[in-house]
Amino acid sequence: MVTRMVFGFLVAAFGLVSVASAADQLSAQEIRDFMLGSTMSGILVETNERWYECVAPSGDTVYNIEGHISTGFVEISESGETCFTYPRPQTTSQSCFFVEMKDGKKVFVAVDSKLQFRVDSVSPGFEQCPTSAPVS
């Protein structure tokens, strides 16, 4: 009887945690709506490095973190997993994230490392995205 009660408590407790996490995670459509055709900027929470990313309506991207610039593309799965791919001559890097709301801000949380890229501003437009200017 005690074992069942403890098991039931654990299921209920973990179920509540799961529901709370799901409520904070943005859906694929919410991500598309705010990200495609916009310029985002913010900080890498763990290191305080400044970044920005311009995302065309097609998903093409220009990413700049502390003056290091990469071009690539983003894909958003129906589960909301958001993967940025940056092709390079020798190798291709891909980073996948879920987007959550934390303290009223959107945060890209890396699937593998849990690094957090906080979005401090989002503005519409991709056309004026600088490809060589440092982050200010």
The string of pLDDT tens digits covering residues 44-92 is 999 999 999 999 999 999 999 988 889 999 999 999 999 999 988 887 8
Domain count, the chain: 1
CATH number reported for the structural domain that contains residue 69 in this entry = 2.40.128.640
Residue 82 domain boundaries: 26-124
Nearest to 74 by CA among 15, 12, 31: 31
| Residue 82 host element (H or E) | strand 82-87
Flag whether the pTM goes above 0.75.
Answer: yes
CA dihedral sign of residues 34, 76, 50, 48: positive
74 closest CA partner among 86, 65, 64, 66: 86
Q: Kindly state whether residue 39 falls inside one of the protein's structural domains.
A: yes
Residue 26, pLDDT above cutoff 50? yes
Higher pLDDT, 46 or 23: 46
Residue range 86-131, pLDDT digits in tens: 988 887 889 999 999 999 999 999 999 999 999 999 998 877 676 6
**Distance (Å, whole) CA 13 – CA 130:** 47
Residue 130 counted as domain residue: no
